[in-house]
Structure 1
Amino acid sequence: MTDVLFYHLQRQPLEAVLPTLVEKSLERGWRAVIEVPAQERLAALDDHLWTYSDAAFLPHGTDRDPDAAEQPVVLTTGAGNPNGAAIRFLVDGAGVPDDAAAYERLVVLFNGNDEEALARARDEWRKTKVAGHAATYWQQDENGRWQKKA
């Protein structure tokens, strides 16, 4: 059974949250895939992951790179697991993949200040539960710490 974590972003944007979650995944020894629905967003996140911190960067590539299979983190707009990742991050409305069971963990990050994003996340939650995956819902408290809500 795959763990599916839903992160309700309200206090911080994706660009602030995603690098930390990916770093924690790499610390566990997991490879990661980050799926976005559009090439423009992929390009923006690609740039951001190199520059998000003066003290760190996330080694990564895109699914267009010839060495994508060797990268610890791969950004993609499509299905598939180009680097044999254990965790898949789904952002900007990317849906839970048909091969969800192939991952140890899926992380759905959604903008809690966007009604359309909330509706998509609720739909993905229902699909995840029907498919028999273990789903949890996380929301930030006033101090910025993630709290498990469901």
Structure 2
Amino acid sequence: MTEIFFYKLKNTSIDLFLISLIEKSISKNWNSLVLLDNTERMEEINDLLWTFNDTSFIPHGSQSDPSPDKQNVYLTCNEENLNNSNIIFSIDGIIINEPGNWNRCIYIFNEQNLKVTDELESYKRKVKDFGYTLKSFEQDNNGKWITNN
């Protein structure tokens, strides 16, 4: 059964938190798909994955590259599982329409974005009725995670 995780950030950059979760998925040998709102945002994340660290990078491809099926990490604006992903990340508040296509769906959002926060709270209530496993985490003022289920 698909697990759906919600991470409500307070003190952490969405982009840097995404990187940490992608690294965890790589350590589990899971293919990842990062669903983005538009091509400009996709290019921002593309650049970030190549340059976030002076000594390493995260190999990945995007919808503008050939052979998505050969990419362990794939950036796209379309909800198509072209790289046989186990996990999908949504960082721009995009609703994942077919959560059952993945083992795990992860929403990462900032508490200050009230529109996205409200939309995801409403979405949580809907998907809970379909029997998906939901887990919610919220940062406290010190950056520690509080389970909010």
**126-135 or 39-48: bigger deviation:** 126-135
Aligned to 2:120: 121
Aligned mates of 1:122, 1:140 — CA distance in 2:
16
TM-score with structure 2 setting the length: 0.94
Deviation for aligned residue 1:110: 1.2
Distance 2:53 2:119 in 1: 30
TM-score (norm 1): 0.93
Gaps of 5+ in 2: none
Which residue number corresponds to residue 58 of structure 1? 58
Paired amino acid for 1:104: N
Report Cα offsets for 1:71-108 as digits up to 9, x if no partner.
Answer: 1100010121010000000111110222x112110001
Q: Distance in 1 between matches of 2:56 and 2:119?
A: 32
Secondary structure of 2:126's counterpart equals: helix
Aligned length: 149
* Residues 104-148 of structure 1: per-residue CA shift (max 9 Å, x gap): 100011111111111111122112212211011011234433332
Aligned-pair identity (%): 31
Q: Indicate the residue corresponding to 1:78 in structure 2.
A: 78
Shift in Å at residue 32 of structure 1? 0.1
1:39 aligned onto 2:39: yes
Give the Å deviation of 1:42.
0.6
Which residue does 1:112 correspond to in 2?
Answer: 111
Partners of 2:61 and 2:141 lie apart in 1 by 34
What SS is found at the alignment partner of 2:25? helix
Match of 1:67 in 2: 67
Task: Please give the secondary structure, in 1, of the residue aligned with 2:33.
Answer: strand
- 8 Å contact 1:36–1:90 — kept in the other structure? yes
Cα distance in 1 for residues equivalent to 2:130 and 2:48: 33
| Matched letter for residue 117 of structure 2 | L
* Residue matched to 1:24: 24
Q: Which moved more, 1:134-143 or 1:102-111?
A: 134-143
Residues 33, 75 of structure 1: 8 Å contact kept: yes
* 1:56 positional shift: 2.3
The 8 Å contact of residues 10 and 143 in structure 2, kept in 1 or not, is answered as: no
